[in-house]
């Protein structure tokens, strides 16, 4: 008998599906279960039923898997930040490798490629150098809080329940950011609670306090606090900045981003410096980078160094190569590779990223990188470089098929493809495999306790 929406069912979980959910089969139908791991026997409630699959949430662990472990964080079952805390880390790494392999085989029809064991993260907790906490005028209550008459039901500052825009968990301790971040967040929370201005309503779009963003310099152990508000009220936010600078010597910068847009994005239409510097400084390898409130920087600094070292290894530069880097962002990969190449041309669509890339080159004494502004589809045909090596680090959606065609026309000797999405990695490599041999893939874990995985692929031009 097929499962029904709302039904409670006892099932044995036999595998893990991409997206971090357990997989069970019920009368031949795939059942994806939140909060379950392969080897569990669980009691779950079906909340979605489609023709060929159903989705459920774990209500009770009847028999735990040998790979299950107690999560460190009290919010782990509800928060979207790190949903795999209940899974042994070595098993996480193996599942991530499997997801890459299975994506290549099932989506890209690419078989027999060496997918190396996943490179582990140096830190399993406290690894994120950027956290973005949403403010809500009505926090989401955890199940054990629902029947507590004394629980405060108003202000919440924290992370969203997955798949929602208005359900914010009031996070008191986030284990994937350094501990100092929790102290800063609590100080800001108490100030906001004592202020006379309301927290922003995610449904009403009214209120003042919107986001608290924390950025951390891993190598210098310095912090930036970015307070995002709906209006410019310096008489309100300046005392908060002064308090943070006076209380925490680790705080190097406090800024106020101001936005009246309804979109739930922590980027201001304007920005004001309230204390310290307008940036913090961090390193990747031997290179230094200024990080402002809204600039892109990989969120796991040691993980980024491992990722870029893999890119360098796969690029096999000897000092004479001309390199094109697609989706070059703020120039971190070109700068990392600069000593091994003759020249590097980066293409990027975001003007501020180009400006940051040029400034990063200047600061690091790199003079063999140039950056071209424009949509990759339009800019790439106009680049007057015949590359020996091409590095491609696209967004999660992967490359447009016109870009893939142009890459094949340029016919570089070697391609190094950096991916944050195994599905689009497989799709793009399938479009390139007629021209290139996919030699090896190295998964790199930059996000412990999540199902997300970075992967670097080495492609060599076919000779036949």
Eight-state DSSP code of residue 158: E
Q: What is the DSSP letter of 121?
A: P
The Cβ of residue 374 has, within 10 Å, a number of other Cβ atoms equal to: 15
Active site residue 420: yes
d(CA 229, CA 191): 14
**Nearest in space to 370 (alpha carbons), one of 418, 411, 319, 334:** 334
Residue in 73, 82, 369, 420 annotated catalytic = 420
Residue 409 CB neighbour total at 10 angstroms: 10
**What residue has token string 């409670």?**
8
Q: With both helix axes pointing from N to C terminus, report the angle between 89-106 and 422-432 in degrees, rounded to the nearest 10.
A: 30
Q: Beta strand 222-229 with 322-326: parallel, antiparallel or unpaired?
A: unpaired
User: In whole angstroms, how far apart are CA 42 and each of 13, 27, 244, 303, 336?
Assistant: 7, 17, 46, 34, 47
Supply the Cα-derived Rg of the chain in whole angstroms: 24
431, containing H or E segment = helix 422-432
Measured distance between the N- and C-terminal CA atoms of the chain, rounded to whole angstroms? 54
408 burial (CB, 10 Å; 0-12 / 13-18 / 19+) is: middle
Largest CA distance in the chain: 74
List, in sequence order, every residue forming a beta bridge with 256; answer none if it has no partner. Answer: 227, 272
Please give the positions annotated as active site.
Answer: 420
């Amino acid at each position: 008998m097929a499962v029904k929406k709302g039904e409670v069912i006892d099932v044995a979980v036999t595998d893990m599906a991409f997206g971090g959910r357990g997989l069970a089969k019920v009368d031949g139908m795939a059942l994806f279960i939140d909060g379950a791991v392969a080897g569990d026997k669980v009691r779950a409630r079906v909340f979605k039923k489609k023709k060929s699959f159903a989705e459920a949430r774990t209500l009770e662990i009847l028999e735990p898997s040998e790979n299950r472990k107690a999560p460190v964080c009290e919010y782990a079952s509800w928060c979207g930040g790190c949903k795999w805390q209940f899974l042994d880390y070595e098993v996480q790494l193996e599942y991530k490798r499997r997801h890459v392999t299975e994506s290549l085989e099932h989506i890209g029809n690419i078989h027999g490629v060496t997918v190396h064991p996943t490179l582990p993260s140096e830190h399993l907790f406290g690894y994120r150098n950027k956290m973005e906490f949403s403010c809500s005028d009505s926090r989401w209550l955890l199940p054990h809080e629902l029947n507590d008459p004394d629980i405060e039901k108003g202000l919440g500052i924290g992370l969203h329940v997955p798949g929602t825009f208005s359900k914010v968990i009031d996070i008191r301790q986030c284990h994937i950011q350094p501990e100092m971040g929790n102290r800063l967040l609590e100080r800001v929370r108490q100030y906001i609670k004592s202020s006379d201005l309301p927290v922003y309503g995610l449904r009403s779009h009214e209120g003042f306090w919107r986001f608290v963003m924390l950025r951390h310099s891993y190598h210098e152990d310095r912090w930036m606090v970015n307070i995002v508000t709906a209006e410019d009220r310096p008489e309100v936010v300046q005392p908060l900045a002064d308090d943070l600078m006076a209380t925490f010597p680790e705080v190097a910068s406090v800024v106020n981003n101001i936005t009246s847009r309804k979109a739930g994005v922590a980027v201001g239409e304007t920005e004001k410096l309230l204390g310290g510097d307008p940036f913090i400084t961090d390193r990747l390898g031997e290179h230094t980078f200024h990080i402002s409130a809204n600039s892109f920087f990989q969120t796991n600094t040691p993980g980024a160094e491992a990722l870029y070292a893999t890119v360098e290894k796969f690029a096999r530069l000897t000092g004479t190569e001309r390199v094109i880097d697609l989706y070059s962002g703020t120039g971190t990969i070109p700068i990392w590779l600069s000593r091994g190449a003759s020249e590097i041309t980066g293409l990027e669509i975001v003007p501020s990223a180009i400006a940051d890339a040029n400034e990063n080159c200047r600061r690091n004494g790199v003079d063999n990188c140039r950056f071209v502004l424009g949509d990759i589809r339009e800019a790439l045909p106009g680049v007057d470089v015949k590359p020996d090596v091409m590095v491609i680090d696209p967004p999660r959606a992967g490359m447009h098929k016109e870009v893939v065609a142009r890459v094949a026309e340029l016919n570089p000797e070697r391609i190094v493809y950096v991916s944050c999405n195994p599905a689009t990695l497989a799709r793009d490599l399938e479009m390139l495999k007629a021209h290139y041999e996919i030699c090896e893939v190295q998964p790199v874990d930059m996000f412990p306790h999540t199902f997300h995985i970075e992967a670097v692929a080495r492609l060599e031009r076919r000779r036949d």
